[in-house]
Amino acid sequence: MSNTQPQVIDIHSHFFPPITQAEAAALDPHAAPWLQVKDNEHGMIMTGSKPFRPVYSALWDPARRIAEMDKAGVDLQIMCATPVMFGYSYPVEQALPWAQRMNDYAIELCAHDPKRLKTLAQVPLQNIDAACLEASRAKSIGHIGVQIGNHLGSKDLDDADMLTFLTHCANEDIPLLVHPWDMMGGEQRMKKWMLPWLVAMPAETQLGILSLILSGAFERLPTSLKICFAHGGGSFAFLLGRVDNAWRERDIIREDCPNLPSSYVDRFHVDSAVFDSRALELLVDIMGEERVMLGSDYPYPLGEQQVGQLIRDTRFSAATHAQLLAGNARRFFGI
């Protein structure tokens, strides 16, 4: 990276630290995630004794990550937990130490080159007091924000506890990345072909956004809240016209949402991980060029394989490319 401001910042990438089976067993010996390293190059994320996902060394090796960043022309990358690490289903007495250990691991990975690698913390959302405390602690040790799942069981982002956490982050100037997880549909309907990732993930993300808009939560949350939704906001931009039409035609939609849903797009950001230049152009047109940031979902195979190329392939001006590639991220994360 040059000595000047970074020109390419990837705000959505994942890591998985070298969690041992013994460490995972302290959370849950039957289902907690850990990393089985087969050699220096390949590994398997395990949940208890079950294989969960094959992975490779960029996920836990910062030197490999930076080498691939150099190859892709990425100056700075912001890492966050692989969602299987969240630990939301466990009692806070177990989940808080787990989150703290994962956050310390993340800082250790970034210490390899803190000018090139930054990280977002995870928090135990099942206990809002503990989540707030850990978000603040994580900021104090070097995290530049927090990643959360888009829901907690039946609680969407408009739940009173979730709003308490969002307000804490707004007041403490802690940016948030919302990532879909624990997808709807179940095994019976999302049976194969990676349908949870292809159908449920975009729907979960749209649900997270609309829960804040249609509930009126954005009317109650501080305007200082910095919140970004992963995967281009899911299906939100493409279906926003449908939501606006419903708001105009049905009073039940207007019951808690005093303004046209599309008027709230200035309250949140999205990343660019939509994988089609036409989709990205629509997304920027809907959201505004100042609210879209480069996000790759690196290093997973469903992420952007040539990080940043999608933005470069759009018909936007050089100034807009610069905003999407880095300028918006510098402002959002204060880097």
Q: For residue 36, is it left (φ>0), alpha (ψ between -120 and 50) or beta? A: beta
Q: What's residue 8's pLDDT?
A: 97
Residue type, 107: I
* Average pLDDT estimate for 146-151: 96
Torsion, Cα 267 272 277 278, to 10 degrees, reads: -30
Q: What's residue 143's pLDDT?
A: 98
What's the pLDDT tens digit per position in 122-138?
A: 999 999 999 999 999 99
Q: What's residue 1's pLDDT?
A: 46
* Average pLDDT estimate for 150-156: 93
- DSSP, res 113: -
Q: What's residue 184's pLDDT?
A: 80
- Burial of residue 184 (number of CB atoms within 10 Å: 0-12, 13-18, 19+): middle
pLDDT band at 327 (very low <50, low <70, confident <90, very high): very high
Residue type, 97: P
Beta-bridged to residue 146, according to DSSP, are 121, 176
d(CA 133, CA 90): 18
Q: Is the dihedral of CA 19, 227, 233, 221 positive or negative?
A: positive
Q: Is there a contact between 10 and 175 (Cβ–Cβ < 8 Å)? A: no
pTM of the model: 0.95
* Average pLDDT estimate for 326-334: 97
Q: What's residue 2's pLDDT?
A: 46
DSSP string, 161-202: HHHHHHHHHHHTT--EEEE--S-TTHHHHS-STTHIIIIIHH
* Average pLDDT estimate for 299-318: 93
What's the pLDDT tens digit per position in 20-77?
A: 999 999 999 999 999 999 888 999 999 999 999 999 999 999 999 999 999 999 999 9
* Average pLDDT estimate for 157-181: 97
- DSSP, res 272: -
Q: Is there a contact between 181 and 150 (Cβ–Cβ < 8 Å)? A: yes
pLDDT band at 197 (very low <50, low <70, confident <90, very high): confident
